[in-house]
Amino acid sequence: MRRLFRLTRPSTEVSRDLASELQFHLDMRTQELIESGLPPEAARDAALRAFGDLRAVEAECRGIARQRVRERERKANMVGIVQDVRYAWRTLRKTPGFTLVVVLTLALGIGANTAIFSMVRGVLLRPLPYADGQRLVFLQQPATRAGVQNTQFSVAELADYRAQSRALAGIVEYHSMPFILLGRGEPLRVQTGVVSANFFDLLGVRPLLGRGFRPGEDAPGAEPVLVLSYGFWRDRLGGDPGVVGRHFTMNDHVHTVIGVLPPIPQYPGANDVYMPSSACPFRSSETMVRTRVMRMLTLFGRLAPGVSSEQAQVELEGISGRLHAEYADAYPAGDGFGIRVTPLQAQLTAQARPTLLLLLGTALFVLLIACANVANLSLARLVRREREMALRAALGADRARIFRQLLAEGLLLSLAAAAAGLVFAAGGLGLLTAFAARMTPRAGEIALDGPVLGFALGLGLLTGLLFALLPALPSRASVVAALKDGGGSTGAGSHRLRSVLVVAQVAVSVVLLVGAGLMLRSVLALQGVDPGFNPEQVLAAKLDLNFSKYTTNEQFQQFHQRLRERLAAQPGVALVASSRGYPLDGRRSFAFDFEIEGHPLEPGRARPQADFRVASPDYFRALGIPLVTGRLFTDRDGLQTPSVAIINQSMARRYWLGQDPVGQRITADTGKTWTTIVGVVGDVRQYGLETDPVDEMYLPFDQIPLREGALVVRGSADPATLARRVKEEVLALDPEQPLAGARPLTEVRADALAPARLTATLLGMFAGLALVITAAGLAGLMAFSVSQRTQEIGVRMALGAARSEVMAMVLRHGLRLVVIGLVAGAAGALALSRAMSGLLYGVTPTDAPTFAATAAVLVSIAALACLIPARRASTVDPMVALRST
């Protein structure tokens, strides 16, 4: 009996087989009946009768058989996959070096991307944590010609927009001030959000405990109430569940706690407590309510259903146009007042967006380089494994099977890499969150959550696919054939592909190096910027006095004066000064309009404007701000003496170019009072090292009564001792007076550099990583090429080539790839570096030294990477090489 094997049986064959099986039965039965004496016709009928319902039997059998075939195929597939994975595992374990290098390379790439993506998601992609957060808008009142982005809004303006806007379903106000909270032992300086009663309703925030503000609670004379932030309630009040109904004293009024917020990020800023606008002594003061130009409110709105932010913009422009016509005094034509509606989400992330996108792009480039390297390694490995593949092909494995094998290996590697990458990302997350916190209030929302995990997994799967697909590419048509004849005919195609991969790696590395180089040059430029003051040995602290306790200017000035005297008497303290703020403190100064005596305002021109600061006499010496001309303040400049001012050089240049401003007079109240300029001091970069100094005017601390204050202390004692002394002296004078954040100015200056330095560091790390991976890829390619060309090299040497010539040949080959990559990369960098121009300082995106340095670094690293294989080539023994055919 001869047997025919049929290994596979598609389901169409099932029917054919079944038909012939049943036909066979009927034929045999008929034959049997004929042999027993029946005529053929009758025999046939009898056979059919004995069989029963032929159609039904056939249908039933076909159903069963098809099911069986399907089950068998499924099982075979399962077994195949398990086999593939098991085989892949064994293969990878046999080459631990390769496996480790691949997993680490990919893990770094995936880790970097996951970490950066978690930032991008937390800050840019995630919707605001408020009900329908995308309908919230931020309102700005720019005065473009006066150079002000947002003058903010006055109480009167809020009322007008509220009354007239239909496009916004609601408008809320916000400002934040420090107050002093009494009622639990030590006095606390609490940052207080002052908001309208509908604030939490409009944002869609429901309190965790108690309730939010009710309509009318922001009406003048309403009972003062407080809503606590979650953090304040938990950290300062121990999470007291019975806190609702408790009383605290603020600004001499008893405030009742009515609710606690849930633990959500707070926008636009983090506050300890919230109070309705009526409870804020400034916001509810007579002048603030009545004066249209007293602008201190930040406004948010919620778009009415079906209204876009663009439509709201159009409507508000109409309203503001009417207001400008009606109250011409409040909107000088020369200032160019306007109105702007921006989605809140865009507003909160505007500063962080360019940096985050740059980092994401960079991280993706690093991953690309890592993938190229891995593909390169696996190509080399594939060529080395040709014999194994040929054997498997000979044993009946088809192309799909071999591909599946590669895929299993790729996925195994890349999933391991994704897991390791997640560990890296988790490790770096704290650092990155702190980094993002300098640019956006949304930093607290950065987390390794589901979508981020999905992202990492997706990257892993993608790289795994790439790993399997790329090596299969050049030899796709010929893989089995080529492998079957056991030769190296796949070598040529894959070698070309590997060269292309290395060139691409070099090119991408160039782009990353240029980016990092530009950022580094920016940081160096920033570090070299003269901030206009000397931060060494200076301690600065904010000192906000209790508004209700220090009611008169005299009390306030006396406190500061006594504090200065007591501190100055301490050992190691040289100079003490009072002021409203200090450089780089992040506090926006007030700007005010003024007129110069003898220079009447031309109609239609913007009124002269300058930031104003207050300073006690020693302020300039303490901070090392140089006096250019005139005099500094003295203790005699007080409330009883004529009003005087010191201006900075920018202001002197703008209005008195080539003249002496000392002795000139200006007025801020259209001539009711006049202030005499007594001196000019150097410019100070108040708002950031990269921000040019603005026009500034200093007024004597004793002439401008402001409760928001700061203390600047220069001394040889170490900062911690200084800080302790300041705190002790403050408490000695007033045990209810808290002192916030005493810090060395050197630290403040370092902080101002931090975002640029961190960006540069991250870009540098990425570029370094890219360089190392690329160098490894290049070295690998060259080593492989040398090993493949051993015979050719042997022939050359046998024909008289010197070792140095062989070395030069290998080096030339490697460097040719590098130069091609370099040129392509430089072109790419020229095109891409413009995208980061907003992040650069003191350097153009096409900075020639950066490009030159990049080329030099790359070529030297590449030469180094080629050197080892080149040396090996030069030590080839011609005899051995020729014999090993």
Partner 1 sequence: MAGSDLYVGTLDLLILKALSWGPMHGYAIGRWIRQTTEDVLSVQEGALYPALHRIQRKGWLEEEWGMTDSGREAKYYRLTPAGRRHLRSEIVRWRAYATAVGAALDAVTA
Residues that bind partner 1 (CB under 8 A): 1-6, 17, 20-22, 24-25, 28-29, 32, 50-54, 56-57, 60-61, 64-65, 67-68, 71
**Shortest Cβ distance from residue 29 to partner 1 (Å)?**
7
* Matching residue, tokens 């409760």: 707
**Shortest Cβ distance from residue 53 to partner 1 (Å)?**
6
**Smaller CB separation from partner 1, 53 or 718:** 53
Q: How far apart are CA 509 and CA 355, in angstroms?
A: 19
**Smaller CB separation from partner 1, 3 or 166:** 3
* Matching residue, tokens 């008169």: 552
**Shortest Cβ distance from residue 33 to partner 1 (Å)?**
12
Q: How far apart are CA 536 and CA 242, in angstroms?
A: 48
**Smaller CB separation from partner 1, 26 or 182:** 26
Q: 422 to each of 109, 112, 449, how far by Cα in Å?
A: 11, 9, 11
**Smaller CB separation from partner 1, 64 or 328:** 64
Q: How far apart are CA 83 and CA 91, in angstroms?
A: 12
**Smaller CB separation from partner 1, 60 or 597:** 60
**Shortest Cβ distance from residue 468 to partner 1 (Å)?**
34
**Shortest Cβ distance from residue 5 to partner 1 (Å)?**
8
Number of residues in the chain:
885
**Shortest Cβ distance from residue 13 to partner 1 (Å)?**
11
**Shortest Cβ distance from residue 484 to partner 1 (Å)?**
30
**Shortest Cβ distance from residue 67 to partner 1 (Å)?**
6
- DSSP annotation string for 530-592: --SS--TTEEEEEEE--TTT--SHHHHHHHHHHHHHHHHTSTTEEEEEEES--TTS-PPPEEE
**Shortest Cβ distance from residue 485 to partner 1 (Å)?**
35
**Shortest Cβ distance from residue 31 to partner 1 (Å)?**
9
Q: How far apart are CA 84 and CA 405, in angstroms?
A: 6
**Closest of 796, 818, 817 to residue 807, by C-alpha:** 796
**Smaller CB separation from partner 1, 14 or 288:** 14
**Smaller CB separation from partner 1, 19 or 431:** 19
**Smaller CB separation from partner 1, 70 or 496:** 70
Q: How far apart are CA 791 and CA 876, in angstroms?
A: 9
Q: How far apart are CA 315 and CA 301, in angstroms?
A: 13
Q: How far apart are CA 789 and CA 576, in angstroms?
A: 77
Q: How far apart are CA 740 and CA 727, in angstroms?
A: 9
**Smaller CB separation from partner 1, 67 or 691:** 67
Q: How far apart are CA 557 and CA 567, in angstroms?
A: 15
- DSSP annotation string for 479-522: HHHHHHTTSSHHHHHHHHHHHHHHHHHHHHHHHHHHHHHHHHHH
**Smaller CB separation from partner 1, 33 or 258:** 33
**Closest of 851, 857, 860 to residue 831, by C-alpha:** 851
**Shortest Cβ distance from residue 69 to partner 1 (Å)?**
9
Distance, C-alpha 873 to centroid of its chain: 47
**Shortest Cβ distance from residue 60 to partner 1 (Å)?**
4
Give the DSSP H/E element, type plus range, for residue 700: strand 696-700
**Smaller CB separation from partner 1, 26 or 628:** 26
**Shortest Cβ distance from residue 81 to partner 1 (Å)?**
21
Q: How far apart are CA 300 and CA 343, in angstroms?
A: 10
Please compute Rg for the chain using Cα positions: 39
**Smaller CB separation from partner 1, 2 or 166:** 2
**Smaller CB separation from partner 1, 9 or 399:** 9
**Closest of 667, 696, 669 to residue 683, by C-alpha:** 696
**Smaller CB separation from partner 1, 73 or 708:** 73
**Shortest Cβ distance from residue 49 to partner 1 (Å)?**
9
Distance between first and last Cα of the chain: 50
**Shortest Cβ distance from residue 51 to partner 1 (Å)?**
4
Distance, C-alpha 43 to centroid of its chain: 88
Query: CA quadruple 764, 765, 766, 768: dihedral positive or negative?
Result: positive
Q: How far apart are CA 766 and CA 512, in angstroms?
A: 7
Burial 441-479 (b: 16+ CB within 10 A, else e): bbbbbbebeeebeebbbebbeebbebbbebbbebbeeeb
What lies within 8 Å, CB to CB, of 697 at 6+ separation is: 594, 610, 611, 612, 613, 645, 646, 647, 648, 651
**Shortest Cβ distance from residue 50 to partner 1 (Å)?**
5
**Shortest Cβ distance from residue 54 to partner 1 (Å)?**
7
* Matching residue, tokens 């054919």: 16
**Smaller CB separation from partner 1, 54 or 569:** 54
Q: How far apart are CA 744 and CA 738, in angstroms?
A: 18
**Smaller CB separation from partner 1, 72 or 812:** 72
**Shortest Cβ distance from residue 14 to partner 1 (Å)?**
10
Other CB atoms within a 10 A radius of the CB of residue 60 amount to 11
Q: How far apart are CA 248 and CA 261, in angstroms?
A: 17
**Smaller CB separation from partner 1, 9 or 871:** 9
**Smaller CB separation from partner 1, 22 or 568:** 22
Other CB atoms within a 10 A radius of the CB of residue 314 amount to 11
Contact 711, 737 (CB under 8 A): no
